[in-house]
Amino acid sequence: NISDFSLNITDCTQVVVPEEVFFTVAAAGILENLLILIAVVRNKNLHLPMYFFICSLAISDMLGSLYKTLENIFIILCKMGYLTRHGDFEKKLDDAMDSMFILSLLGSIFSLLAIAADRYITIFYALRYHNIMTLRRALVILAIIWVFCAGSSIAIALFSYEAATVIPFTILFPLMMFFILCLYVHMFLLARSHAKKIASLPSSTVHHRTNMKGAITLTIFLGVFLCCWAPFVLHILLARFCPHNPYCACYMSIFHVNGTLIMCNAIINPMIFAFRSPELRSTFKKMFYCPR
């Protein structure tokens, strides 16, 4: 009975992203983050808490891109008939992949939080930083974060149909963003007051421009994360609460675009966090340009 509802001309059909675009974006994300991991492992100068947190972010980005790649491969295999759509194995595989994706999202959020907290401690507790944030403590913090994320992701994937999992998940997201924003704004205010002190010296005209740069940097940090992940979070909310509503259905039809945005986040994050460090950049140069 297809003719009654589903072939309405005003339907919102699924917006399709070509497979080549998917695979290119995913591969770029995986490669970039893998490079960062290799660089941090190889250079002993980079065995610092700050870089370990950046590595944690790289790992969660890699997991997100990996998930999308595996999902695409899965679909292609289904299309070609190697896998059935209804088998038990496929359902378990699907569950596993879903939990990988949620792990990636939670890992990203907590890594960003850890990076912000680390920078905050570096600025406001500068001379005691090495005592507060030792290497061992950083590794312990990362272990706790990842165990928590793994447990939550498995729980969410198993119970994803309950409102009780969707609501905390969608509340966690803006809450963490707000907390990270507060940390960075406080750091930013300190930077501004320092710049003002410098500006109070004679013949100094640069403070407006550099504070503008600080505002731009901060906006980019948080704007990129919001723009890449918020569409997907909204999708989850709408899918849980209003799947029959035509407006919601039209929003859900751009699901593939939202997925591509998440993979773009995996490409942009290293540029914002990792490549800003001169030490990491010089490690890359050595890796690629130095004769063996």
Partner 1 sequence: MSALRLISNRTSQQALSNSDYTWDYEYYEYGPVSFEGLKAHKYSIVIGFWVGLAVFVIFMFFVLTLLTKTGAPHQDNAELSEKRFHMNSFVAEFGRPLESERVFSHQMAEESQSLFHFCINEVDHMNKEEESQKGPHLEKNTHFQEVPKSSGMFEEDLHCLTKFNIPNFVNTEQNSSLGEDDLLISEPPIIL
Q: Which of residues 24-83 bind partner 1 (CB under 8 A)?
A: 44-45, 47-48, 75, 78-79
In the bound state with partner 1, the residue whose beta carbon lies nearer, of 31 and 128, is 128
Rounded to a whole number of angstroms, the minimum distance from the CB of residue 180 to partner 1 is: 12
In the bound state with partner 1, the residue whose beta carbon lies nearer, of 245 and 292, is 245
Q: How far apart are the C-alpha atoms of 220 and 243, rounded to whole Å?
A: 33
Structure token digits, residue 285: 């140069």
Q: Which of 286, 221, 266, 270 is nearest to 45 (CA)?
A: 286
Residues 170, 235 contacting (CB under 8 angstroms): no
Q: How far apart are the C-alpha atoms of 227 and 261, rounded to whole Å?
A: 8
Rounded to a whole number of angstroms, the minimum distance from the CB of residue 209 to partner 1 is: 8
Position 284 contacts partner 1 (CB under 8 A): no
Position 207 contacts partner 1 (CB under 8 A): yes
Q: How far apart are the C-alpha atoms of 124 and 252, rounded to whole Å?
A: 44
Point out which span in 31-39, 105-113, 142-150, 221-229 binds partner 1 (CB under 8 A).
Answer: 221-229
Rounded to a whole number of angstroms, the minimum distance from the CB of residue 214 to partner 1 is: 4
Structure token digits, residue 125: 């507790």
- Binding string, residues 150-169; x marks residues near partner 1 by CB under 8 A: -------x--xx----x---
Residue 54: other Cβ atoms inside 10 A = 28
Position 241 contacts partner 1 (CB under 8 A): no
Buried b (16+ CB within 10 A) or exposed e, 211-239: beebeeebeebbebbbebbbbbbbbbbbb
Position 276 contacts partner 1 (CB under 8 A): yes
Residues 42, 287 contacting (CB under 8 angstroms): yes
Rounded to a whole number of angstroms, the minimum distance from the CB of residue 291 to partner 1 is: 25
Structure token digits, residue 93: 């595989």
Binder to partner 1 among 122, 154, 170, 172 (CB under 8 A)? 122
Read off the amino acid at residue 51: Y
Longest dimension (CA), the chain: 80
Rounded to a whole number of angstroms, the minimum distance from the CB of residue 35 to partner 1 is: 19
Binder to partner 1 among 73, 94, 147, 155 (CB under 8 A)? 94
Residues 182, 116 contacting (CB under 8 angstroms): no
Residue linked to tokens 């005209």: 205
Rounded to a whole number of angstroms, the minimum distance from the CB of residue 36 to partner 1 is: 15
Point out which span in 32-40, 137-145, 216-224, 283-291 binds partner 1 (CB under 8 A).
Answer: 216-224
Point out which span in 33-41, 56-64, 97-105, 260-268 binds partner 1 (CB under 8 A).
Answer: 97-105
Point out which span in 27-35, 53-61, 139-147, 232-240 binds partner 1 (CB under 8 A).
Answer: 232-240
Position 194 contacts partner 1 (CB under 8 A): yes
